């Protein structure tokens, strides 16, 4: 009897929370029907539902032009992407219960894919939680709240993580580009537990330590896990150059996989110090060295010194952050690949990567082809990769398929 009396009481509570409605223009519901989660400000019927009437971060029921309810989204009237869908059920808002459910769904996938608890647990839209990123380092989790809508449920996110994972430490990395776009303050905070020094992780059987508080992004880049695994099979006995090495994700794994020598290039002193720590952690410090400086200058310096490598990794930051940067970014990728190819021996391997979502895969192929021909070399594409399974691609949102990696044999006749 008690259960029966509770059920009708729940819905008035939910309806009382999500009462505002956001109506779309005619035919603007097509992408949502296809599974997309974003709404743009020019798709809103502002006569019926003025965007300026919404408190930034508030949740609303999305309606088609006909008035048919299509789901729940959080709204930011000050952003080009003015709403992001969190549920197709209009009775389910973004809160602790939904977060627990989504976290359990995400965890189920990761436990299917990986034997060890080191992975991206939540990958934003790919896990139906737009604006939220959670990386897991065993009992330490690092959280990025990239949108105002997610910032509004910060406490519920922490509660849900404790419900699903019971982590010892929770770190909030509020220093992201997404937060700047949403006009949110930037800060880094340990909101649960305490940390002293680096955090341990394991990838492809290789041990690492990294700084999840002061390092890049969340401290590690799990997305290249599978691409590194393939590269590791190609480097035994080879001399390897790892450009934009950060803390040695590619280079140290190459050394452990039998590379005869690895040179890691980065402009960050702390990152290169961590490279050597990670090399020592795996007993390969005698085959790993570092070169500090700007990547382009370092490549020119190595060429001037007559250095030659058997395999080179190019894993740069995003040269194209916005569509207006495409032309300049493609030129930068072209120059980078040309300079790297100059350092390859007669029959070498180039691993060329891009994390720019605005750079299409076929354009990266064309850039590497052009770079090889510029040096009068032949190119054979022998591997094409993308982000690992803990960075799931939402099939309706092309922007979630951002990572490209190409293994290319570069050789002379």
- DSSP lists the bridge partners of residue 208 as 201
Reported as a pLDDT band with limits 50, 70 and 90, residue 7 is very low
Q: Of 46, 31, 108, whose CA–CA distance to 398 is shortest?
A: 31
Q: What is the pLDDT of residue 151?
A: 96
Domain 21-87 has CATH 2.60.40.1180: no
Q: Which ranges constitute the DSSP H helices of 240-294?
A: 251-256, 269-281
pLDDT average, residue stretch 122-141: 98
Q: In angstroms, rounded to a whole number, what is the distance separating the alpha carbons of residues 257 and 236? A: 6
Q: In whole numbers, what is the pLDDT of the chain averaged over residues?
A: 94
CA atoms 225, 230, 231, 233: torsion sign: positive
Pairing label, strands 132-137, 140-145:
antiparallel
Contacts of 356 (CB under 8 A, 6+ apart): 318, 319, 320, 321, 329, 402
| Helix (H) / strand (E) containing 262 | strand 261-266
**Residue 335: pLDDT above 80?**
yes
pLDDT average, residue stretch 162-189: 92
**Residue 4: pLDDT above 70?**
no
Q: In angstroms, rounded to a whole number, what is the distance separating the alpha carbons of residues 87 and 371? A: 46
Name the CATH code of domain 96-196 (choices 3.40.47.10, 3.10.20.740, 3.30.750.80, 1.20.58.220). Answer: 3.30.750.80
Q: Which tokens go with 301?
A: 């310096």
pLDDT average, residue stretch 356-366: 95
Q: Of 306, 303, 359, 304, whose CA–CA distance to 334 is shortest?
A: 359
Q: What is the pLDDT of residue 12?
A: 37
Q: What is the pLDDT of residue 8?
A: 37
Q: In angstroms, rounded to a whole number, what is the distance separating the alpha carbons of residues 206 and 204? A: 6
Angle (CA) 87 88 89, round 5°: 90
**Residue 6: pLDDT above 60?**
no
Q: What is the pLDDT of residues 383-402, one digit of tens each?
A: 999 999 999 999 999 999 99
pLDDT: is 10 or 192 the higher one? 192
Reported as a pLDDT band with limits 50, 70 and 90, residue 153 is very high
Q: What is the pLDDT of residue 2?
A: 38
Q: Which tokens go with 193?
A: 């537990």
Q: In angstroms, rounded to a whole number, what is the distance separating the alpha carbons of residues 114 and 4? A: 41
> CATH second-level architecture of 200-411?
3-Layer(aba) Sandwich (3.40)
Q: What is the pLDDT of residue 17?
A: 59
pLDDT more than 70, % of the chain: 96
Which residues form the catalytic set?
A: 355
Q: What is the pLDDT of residues 216-267, one digit of tens each?
A: 999 999 999 999 999 999 999 999 999 999 999 999 999 999 999 999 999 9
**Residue 3: pLDDT above 90?**
no
Reported as a pLDDT band with limits 50, 70 and 90, residue 16 is very low
Q: What is the pLDDT of residue 234?
A: 98
Return phi, psi of residue 119, to 5°.
Answer: -175, 170
Reported as a pLDDT band with limits 50, 70 and 90, residue 1 is very low
Q: Which ranges constitute the DSSP H helices of 126-176?
A: 148-152, 154-164
List the domain boundaries for the chain. Answer: 21-87, 96-196, 200-411
Tell me if 319 sits within 8 A of 329, measured CB to CB. yes
Tell me if 282 sits within 8 A of 207, measured CB to CB. yes
Q: In angstroms, rounded to a whole number, what is the distance separating the alpha carbons of residues 173 and 262? A: 31
Tell me if 72 sits within 8 A of 85, measured CB to CB. yes
Q: In angstroms, rounded to a whole number, what is the distance separating the alpha carbons of residues 160 and 109? A: 17
Q: What is the pLDDT of residue 182?
A: 86
Angle (CA) 164 169 175, round 5°: 105
* DSSP letter assigned to residue 357: T
């Amino acid at each position: 009897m008690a259960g029966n009396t509770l059920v009708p009481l729940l819905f008035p509570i939910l309806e009382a929370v999500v009462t505002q409605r956001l109506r779309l223009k005619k035919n603007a519901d097509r992408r949502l029907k296809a599974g997309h989660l974003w709404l743009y400000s020019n798709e809103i019927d502002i006569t019926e539902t003025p965007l300026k009437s919404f408190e930034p971060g508030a949740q609303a029921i999305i309606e088609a032009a006909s008035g048919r309810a299509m789901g729940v989204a959080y709204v930011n009237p000050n952003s080009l992407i003015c709403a992001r869908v969190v549920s197709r059920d209009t009775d389910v808002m973004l809160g602790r219960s939904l977060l627990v459910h989504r976290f359990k769904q995400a965890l189920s996938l990761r436990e299917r894919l990986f034997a060890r608890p080191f992975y991206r647990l939540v990958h934003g839209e790919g896990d139906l939680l737009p604006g939220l990123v959670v990386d897991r380092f065993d009992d330490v989790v690092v959280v990025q709240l990239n949108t105002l809508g997610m910032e509004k449920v910060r406490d519920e996110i922490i509660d849900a993580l404790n419900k699903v994972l019971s982590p010892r430490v929770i770190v909030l990395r509020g220093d992201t580009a997404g937060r700047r776009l949403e006009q949110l303050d930037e800060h880094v905070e340990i909101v649960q537990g305490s940390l002293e020094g680096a955090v341990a992780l394991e990838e492809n059987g290789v041990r690492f330590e990294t700084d999840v508080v002061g390092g890049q992004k969340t401290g590690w880049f799990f997305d290249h896990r599978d691409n590194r695994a393939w590269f590791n099979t190609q480097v035994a006995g080879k001399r390897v150059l790892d450009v934009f090495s950060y803390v040695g994700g590619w280079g140290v794994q190459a050394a452990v996989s039998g590379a005869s020598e690895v040179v890691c290039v980065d402009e960050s002193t702390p990152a290169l110090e961590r490279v050597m720590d990670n090399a020592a952690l795996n007993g390969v410090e005698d085959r790993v060295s570092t070169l500090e400086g700007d990547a382009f200058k370092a490549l020119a310096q190595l060429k001037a010194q007559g250095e030659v490598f058997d395999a080179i990794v190019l894993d740069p930051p995003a040269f194209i952050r916005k569509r207006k940067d495409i032309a300049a970014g493609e030129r930068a990728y072209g120059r980078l690949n040309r300079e790297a190819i100059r350092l390859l021996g007669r029959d070498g391997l180039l691993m060329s990567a891009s994390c720019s979502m605005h750079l299409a895969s076929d354009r990266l192929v064309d850039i590497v082809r052009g770079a090889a021909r510029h040096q009068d070399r032949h190119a054979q594409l022998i591997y094409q990769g993308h982000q690992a399974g803990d960075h799931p691609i939402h099939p309706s949102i092309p922007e979630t398929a951002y990572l490209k990696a190409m293994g290319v044999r570069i050789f002379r006749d």
